Chain A
């Protein structure tokens, strides 16, 4: 049985009141949703809270899911993305999401965000990525603007295709591709300044 068919069957059973089917849905999708929340929100605590909120909202609105309108995973990702956007708006003042080339002052010679990231740290091994390197990449990901961040996360970490991403983000496929390319390039520029000798 394919994933889409299995998910549709689980949803039908769950709407009918089958608690085991709901637990199966939670077991199948909680890891993916947690990772999406963690990469977007940046912290494990926020990711845990947001994952729970996603499943609470999913549990309440599961009967509104229409199998004919798209895959269950796309519907779940859309739900998660809407919640993440809400969370981002609520915590906007606590975050610094400017572009790498933006400066915090109006002075033309002021340091950019990329320049202020320290250069210290060991160079990444070509074969094995150390834990510190992954943390550096994760922190650099948080510096991207939310539009670019969500696009590269859905494409490169969640392995979704462009059409699904366009459905989730509610933008044309061309815009999705452009955001992914810009997001990748901006992340590389940030890390390039961190590990100049390697890149």
Chain B
């Protein structure tokens, strides 16, 4: 009966000897008893076949080849030095250009190895994404940077433009504008107190002009400009132009000359 003890071997004994039987270390009477039980028992027989099949499947798996950079990665992360085998085994170039390239490769290889790892690539990607988002939010376009003129005169011009923009922005701030307005009001409020002294200066200048015997021309023009600047001009006070009038010459006792009218025509082009 399956699962029950036969004449010589129980199922638990069979299970204990299964590994040795598959490994081939079971021999003699124990092996014959084992094989006999496997033929009779309906539970242990299939178990033996399945275990043998599973072992053969597992043995079919061959050893996989580790990645090439695994050893160098391990050495870099533990002792921090590159493999001495790799360094001594490589061909050392004789030209100075080749030596520089070799040195650059040795110096850059740890960085390259680190950058190849997915976690660092992900970090770099996130940093680039953050930078690009920040630049786009700040209004900076990469195309503008590409066409940027780096000549000294252009940089100087850019500097002045930027400075002017900053000053304009500063002056347009509401707070600054209000402060400047208050300061201007204070200055205007303080101006009437200074007018008497200004009138006195004007009188002194008039007296000085009367007593002046140097023959220098008087500064009438300057005074007129200043008066016109302060006095309002009304349209009614301006002389009305009535067009050209005939010129008449009259002398006593002389015959009346002919009347000559002169008309000027202004051509607008």
Contacts and interface: CB of A to CB of B under 8 A. Distances in A.
B54 A38 contact: no
B54 A187 contact: yes
Contact of B66 (A31, A174, A184, A191): A31
Contact of B19 (A26, A134, A137, A181): A181
A23 B75 contact: yes
A184 B55 contact: yes
A127 B261 CA distance: 134
A109 B53 CA distance: 28
A167 B50 CA distance: 27
Given A134-B62, A156-B58, A26 B50 contact: no
B64 A38 contact: yes
Contact of B79 (A30, A59, A183, A184): A59
B58 A152 contact: yes
For chain A, give the interface size range.
35 or more
Interface stretch (B81-89, B133-141, B153-161, B215-223): B81-89
A138 B61 contact: yes
Interface string A131-167: 0011001101100000000001000110000100000
Interface stretch (A47-55, A68-76, A78-86): A47-55
Interface string B46-88: 0101111111011111111011001101110111010111000
A16 interface: no
Interface on chain B toward A: helix, strand, loop, or mixed SS? helix
Interface in A115-140: 129, 133-134, 137-138, 140
B62 to A, nearest CB: 7
A56 B79 CA distance: 9
Most chain B beta carbons < 10 A, residue from A20, A23, A192: A23
A112 interface: no
B26 interface: no
Given A157-B61, A174-B16, A185 B66 contact: no
B71 A188 contact: no
Contacts of A140: 57
Given A178-B15, A180-B19, A51 B47 contact: no
Contact of A181 (B15, B60, B66, B78): B15
B58 to A, nearest CB: 4
A45 B81 CA distance: 23
A114 B97 CA distance: 62
Nearest to A17: B79
A137 B70 contact: no
Nearest to B59: A156
A128 to B, nearest CB: 10
B76 to A, nearest CB: 10
Interface of B: 15-16, 18-19, 22, 47, 49-55, 57-64, 66-67, 70-71, 73-75, 77-79, 81, 83-85, 118
